[in-house]
Chains A and B, each alone.
Chain A
Amino acid sequence: MTSFTVQLLMNSMITGSVYALVAIGFALTYNIGGFFNMAHGAVFLLGAYGGYVALHVLQFGLPLAVLVSAAAAGLAGIVAHSAVFRRLALSEAPSTVFFISSLGILIAVEGTVATGFGYETIVFMPGPSPSSTFFGARVTDIQVYILALSFALLLALVVFFHMTNIGKQIRAVADDRELAKAVGISVNGVMFWVFVLGSMLAGVAGLFVGMEHTIRPGSGMVAVLWAMVASIMGGVGSFIGPVVGAFLLGFIENLAVTVFPSEWKATVVFSILILFFFLRPVGLFGVRR
């Protein structure tokens, strides 16, 4: 394997693991709530800026900044669920109302963040990061940290879904919402936990994107669009699908920038998404029901 291939795979793993953290919550909300939750971009943004404040204003270390990002996003998820989505669910609003409300939340949070921090791009980690060489590929210490923590979180999530009662309830509701209601599972209660967990993961992903690249108020919309693409490619109806979709997206994106100018990255990604719509609309792991 050439060092180019190793570098490509390594970069794809890092990008994919971060996308996976965002995609899981997005796909779960779709499975259980039946709508594309654009507000997932808002919690990503709050996690990112929360992490920035922790690192640069409060001068916290990285582990504490991760906790701040998760807490800020998790709290925002609780507020969004309690103040908006739970009420919409109780009034049995159609999915378009959920979608437009979530878009409203994203736009409102973007505006609020821009008021506080400005529209300019923020660099979390100025200057070069220490790095090491792995089979000819250059990997920074920050990237190793991101990769290790992302995989640890994904693994913890698998354990959570299979070992805890609420994890099994989430799987049950995602599987068959009507049956879940008929056996007495509270779909709103499950949705609460999906918002908390999904938002926390997205918040941590926000911090990671800030550390690895840059953040600006528009990053929330980009993150949620990428989560949508990953979920559709992998299959929204499955648990493994969005994770695999995220890694596939990471690979396509990193490959695209080696072949085409970087401005074409989104064009390549969305072209492949359209191909999926034609060839495999349920995604790699989706099941036609």
Chain B
Amino acid sequence: MKLAIEQLTRRFDGIDALIDVSCTVKAGEILAIAGPNGSGKTTLLDIVTGLTEADRGDIFLGDKRLIGKRPEHIAALGVARSFQIARLFHGLTVLENLIMADATEREGLMSAVLRGEGVAEKRARERAMEHLEYLGMAAYRDTAAAKLSAGQMRRVELGRLLMQERAQLLLLDEPTASLDPEMTQIAVKVIEGLRSKGKAIVLVEHNLDVVHYIADRVMVLDQGRKMADGKPSEVFQDLEIQAIFLGGGGNSHASHR
């Protein structure tokens, strides 16, 4: 399903977070968003997921308009996301965190309350365990999320994305942050796997090696403005774009949220 963002604008306390930003992401495509700190990357994800309101502009997922909808409705329409700082339900176990992301588990509150541990939950539990094993987190299934390290939380967050099978658009906010090189490779494989399933993916990523390797296109933001949109190899050749990253203290692994 295609994501279309049209002239998105948002100001916070007189500061422009986003100014007339437009872009599209097709099904089976990865659009990376890069830019220095405060360039508007996370704000853009927050607006798409309904956690922040836009001042102006429009967003469509396929033929469905997302602007004005509540976060839970947007999620139900097929939008899943991860967060800049991995975010889990701290009081729930690792396994429960994954099961909560399974949409079939939430169908019909009355049946849910009567059902308890039912067929759907058994299926969700099996799927969750498969993902946890792949991510090397199976041993932590009954551990409270609050007790995990930052890297472990990031892995569980990836597992949660894998559980959201119905999602057609994935918004990933620095999914490789806090991961060691080995786990970063697994995360990249997970993201590639999701792309091969036809998901549209928006990737905010600080690791430019990952962007070069995985992204089909990259959009560069600076102070809320779109500065470039194209293939990573072409965009990062542009001297003006290189200056943005150097100005933000960047190099090939620059931190630019």
Footprint of B on A, CB under 8 Å?
163-166, 168-169, 171-172, 174-176, 178-187, 189, 192-193, 239
- The reply to whether A183 and B80 contact each other, CB–CB distance below 8 Å, is yes
> B89 on the interface (CB 8 Å rule)?
yes
Which residues of A have CB within 8 Å of B100? 168-169, 172, 180, 183, 185
Secondary structure at the A interface, as helix, strand, loop or mixed, is helix
> B193 on the interface (CB 8 Å rule)?
no
Binds A, one of B9-17, B103-111, B180-188: B103-111
Closest to A196 in B: B113
Which residues of A have CB within 8 Å of B118? 165
> B160 on the interface (CB 8 Å rule)?
yes
- The reply to whether B75 and A181 contact each other, CB–CB distance below 8 Å, is yes
- The reply to whether A172 and B113 contact each other, CB–CB distance below 8 Å, is no
Alpha-carbon distance between A174 and B92 when the two chains are bound, in angstroms: 11
The 7 closest A-B pairs by CB, nearest first: A184-B75, A181-B71, A165-B112, A175-B89, A166-B113, A172-B89, A181-B72
Within 8 A of A (CB), among B150-167: 160, 164
- The reply to whether A175 and B71 contact each other, CB–CB distance below 8 Å, is no
- The reply to whether B92 and A175 contact each other, CB–CB distance below 8 Å, is yes
Known: A165-B105, A168-B99, A176-B87. A185 touches B72 (CB 8 A): yes
Which residues of B have CB within 8 Å of A174? 91
Which residues of A have CB within 8 Å of B71? 178, 181-182
Which residues of A have CB within 8 Å of B80? 183
- The reply to whether B90 and A176 contact each other, CB–CB distance below 8 Å, is yes
27 contacts between A and B (CB under 8 A): A164-B112, A164-B113, A165-B106, A168-B92, A168-B96, A168-B100, A169-B100, A171-B96, A172-B89, A172-B92, A172-B100, A174-B91, A175-B89, A176-B90, A178-B51, A179-B89, A181-B51, A181-B72, A182-B49, A182-B71, A182-B81, A183-B80, A183-B101, A184-B103, A184-B164, A185-B106, A193-B109
